[in-house]
Amino acid sequence: MNKSFYVTTPIYYVNDRPHIGHAYSTVAADVLARYARLRGRPTRFLTGTDEHGQKIEDRAKELGKDPQAFVDEMSPPFRQAFEELDCSFDDYIRTTEPRHERKVADLWKILEARGDIYLGSYEGWYAVADEAYITELEYRDMSDEEKAKRKVERKQEESYFFRLSKYTQPLLDFYEKNPTFVQPEGRFNEVKAFVREGLQDLSISRTSFRWGIPVPGNDAHVIYVWLDALTNYISALGGPAAPGESELFDRFWAPNAEVVHIVGKDILRFHAVYWPAFLLSAGIAPPTQIWAHGWLTINGEKMSKRSGNFIPPGPLVEAFGADVLRYYLMREVGFGQDGDFAHRNLLARYNGELANGLGNLLNRMVRSIVRRSFGGLVPTPANREPEDEALIAAAQKAAQESARHLDAIAPHRSLDAVWELVAAANRYVDQTAPWALAKEGKTERLGQVAYTVLESLRWLSVLIAPFMPAKSVALRAQLGLGPLEPEEGRDAWPAAWGELTPGTPTAPGEPLFPRIDAKQEKALLARLGVGTAGAAAPGAPAKKSKQKSTNEPPKEGTIPFDRFLDVELKVGLILAAEAVPKSDKLVKLSVDLGEPGPRQILAGIRPHYAPEALVGQRVVVVANLAPRKIMGLTSEGMVLAASDTEHGLSVLSLDKAIAPGTRVS
């Protein structure tokens, strides 16, 4: 599909500082934009800030600032936060820019010329926090606490109205003709049910404050902030505009383009009801799709400044890098559903999926096998065996599935598909045992195995690019490839196997995702102000939570959780085992702990196991024990086992193919 693609985020209120919820909307839009560019589609990505309205005027007043000076100070941190998150927006709109203000006035005049605006008077309950009137029913259902929080006040004012009631049926017809206009589907049903009740005319001007765009011809009124804000999606393209008047508008607005607005579920009604009604009135095509994502809680709790868990993205980017944060945001929560941002889960996914999964695959191949056996050059593939074909099929499946899910705006599913390939490739390395092939001098087979993994890694470098653009560049560099350079009209999504050229010099570099050990983990969490239980920051009021007990002094005979974390238990895959000469007890093991090379571990298990029976087993290893010398040999870890007189000794092993190096906890 080569239709132009235009993706937008909500524009953010500048009375707040950027936080992880804002990052979530913008990163999602960026993933879609980067993906569309890779597919060769003409793409445009817009974000920005929403700077008018009573809320902003009030906040500026509180601080004793002029509103313009206030918004000029508050908007750049959003832009900076999104730049730090490597978001590739093509334009950043601020609603106080003249290019926007002019277009809002133009749209007003069009709606007026259509006969859809009239002057009336309005009395009702106004929620300042939402910049919206609420219905009598909503008011009655609201608790006092909620009323105070949303700053609900009685208001009467002369107001211009938009004939929204006239658009009840046209909207229902439009929904009918565009069955995927709102996603997820459940949310669309809510929207339709709301419209079916019948719409009331909408108050679209205010006289009770000044901070807004004046109504053309009557500057006692300012234009309602939502009419102002929604227009950003077209004003940034130079619209409303007649055909031929604005190249951007012609190219990137519907129906010439696929237009997707990414929004949070809380602002769906504005986008799915008011916005298409304004556009239908103006004779402009509505957007193609409104995608409403869920809300994030932080370590299980609602994000708020009061509870001390207001999470700005900056320190997380500093701690993990933008790509890791982007990956986590897109991986953890089903897009469209509510979810939780938990620092501990981020760390677990980092070590498990990134360091042990993708990072380890690259390390094992480029730093170890290719460097040692092929002088660092991409080897020449040889005859394919069934296991090679199986990995190639897995790569093809991952490319197709991850694309299908991104086309359907399901980034979490896309990552599931990509990580199936990561797991398949790691399993393939375990199965084909390249170290053994090297030892046995089976160079041709080893070349085929290494090539199959390297080419899988090349595919992965494209599949991860929308999510982790910088890691894609770093991964490609290690494979001896330059960064992807998307071009309009050229589809760069992997489809043909075998494009990696034999003889290309690889460039083993720093690990893509250096493992974070227990000590670093503790330090990181402390730096981010997260307690050991994964809950909120120090200084936050004590909460009644199930994790509370972990913060109490340990009872005699028990240890605090972090002492347990000091012991690094990891999954080890036994690659080779042989009896130690002159010892009845000792077996020398070569164990893959997800590191560049295997470790040598000595275990006193000879009377209980034939060495060859141990090869291929996944065992639990104490990975951070200081090395010890036993019978002149160094042991770099300990394999856990239990014994009793009845059964003898039993080595602890795993019943699933968990990746070597995965933390055991």
What does 177-231 look like in DSSP terms, one character per residue? H-TTSEESHHHHHHHHHHHHT-PPPEE-EESS---SPEETTEEEEEE-HHHHHHT
Residue 78 within binding range of ligand MSP, rule CB under 6 A = no
**Strands 132-134 and 182-183, how do they pair?**
unpaired
Tell the smallest beta-carbon distance from residue 406 to ligand MSP (Å). Answer: 20
The distance of closest approach from Cβ of residue 225 to ligand MSP in the complex, given in angstroms and rounded to an integer, is 8
267 binding ligand MSP? (CB under 6 A): yes
Least Å from the CB of residue 47 to ligand MSP: 10
Minimum Å gap between C-beta 441 and ligand MSP is 56
Interface mask toward ligand MSP for 175-214; x: CB under 6 A: ----------------------------------------
Planar angle of CA 250, 256, 260, nearest 5 degrees? 105
Please identify which residue in 4, 6, 7, 11 interacts with ligand MSP, judged by CB under 6 A.
Answer: 11
The structure tokens listed for 104 are 């809002």
Q: Which is nearer to ligand MSP, 309 or 448 (CB)?
A: 309
Q: Taking CB under 6 A as the rule, does residue 327 contact ligand MSP? A: no
Q: Which segments within 528-664 are labelled E, that is strand?
A: 569-579, 587-592, 599-603, 618-622, 628-630, 633-635, 638-639, 641-644, 648-651
Residue 193 buriedness (CB in 10 A; 0-12 / 13-18 / 19+): exposed
Q: Which pair of structure tokens corresponds to residue 440?
A: 């046995």
Least gap, CB of 49 to ligand MSP (angstroms):
8
Between 49 and 205, CB nearer to ligand MSP = 49
Question: What x-and-dash track marks residues 620-649 binding ligand MSP by CB under 6 A?
Answer: ------------------------------
Q: Which helix (H) or strand (E) covers residue 393, if one does?
A: helix 386-407
Closer of 230 and 453 to ligand MSP (Cβ): 230
Smallest CA-to-CA distance from 392 within 471, 500, 477, 492 is with 500
CB of 25 to ligand MSP, least distance (A): 5
In this chain, which stretch among 175-183, 228-236, 383-391, 612-620 interacts with ligand MSP, using CB under 6 A?
Answer: 228-236
Query: Hey, what are 643's tokens?
Result: 């014994």
In one-letter notation, the amino acid at residue 348 is A
Other Cβ atoms less than 10 A from the Cβ of 614: the count is 22
The correct pick among 6, 7, 10, 287 for binding ligand MSP (CB under 6 A) is 10
Question: What residues contact 573, with CB distance under 8 A and at least 6 apart?
Answer: 430, 591, 592, 616, 617, 618, 660
Per the listing, tokens 């978001």 go with 87
CA dist 32 and 25 (Å) reads: 11
Which residue in 5, 12, 278, 459 binds ligand MSP (CB under 6 A)? 12
Q: Scanning residues 272 to 311, which ones bind ligand MSP (CB under 6 A)?
A: 295-296, 303
Please state, in angstroms and rounded to a whole number, the distance separating the CA atoms of residues 653 and 272. 54
Helix ranges, 516-615 (H): 518-527, 561-566, 611-614
Q: Which helix (H) or strand (E) holds 123?
A: strand 117-127
* Shortest Å, Cβ 629 to ligand MSP: 54
Find the residue with minimal CB distance to ligand MSP: 264
Q: Of 182 and 263, which has the nearer Cβ to ligand MSP?
A: 263
Please choose, out of 5-13, 119-127, 425-433, 478-486, the segment that lies near ligand MSP by the rule CB under 6 A: 5-13
With vertex at residue 201, the alpha carbon angle to CA 200 and CA 202, rounded to the nearest 5 degrees, is 110
Residues paired with 47 in a beta bridge:
92
Select the residue interacting with ligand MSP from 266, 340, 389, 440 (CB under 6 A). 266
How many residues at the interface with ligand MSP, by CB under 6 A? 19
Residues 14-53 that bind ligand MSP (CB under 6 A): 21-22, 24-25, 50
**For residues 314 and 596, which CB has a smaller minimum distance to ligand MSP in the complex?**
314
The helix/strand/coil state of 581 is: coil
Q: Which two tokens stand for residue 67?
A: 């509103």
Indicate the residue among 111 and 479 with the shorter CB distance to ligand MSP.
111
- Which 357-416 residues touch ligand MSP, going by CB under 6 A? none
Should residue 458 be labelled a site residue for ligand MSP when binding is judged by CB under 6 A? no
List contacts with ligand MSP (CB under 6 A): 10-13, 21-22, 24-25, 50, 229-230, 232, 263-264, 266-267, 295-296, 303
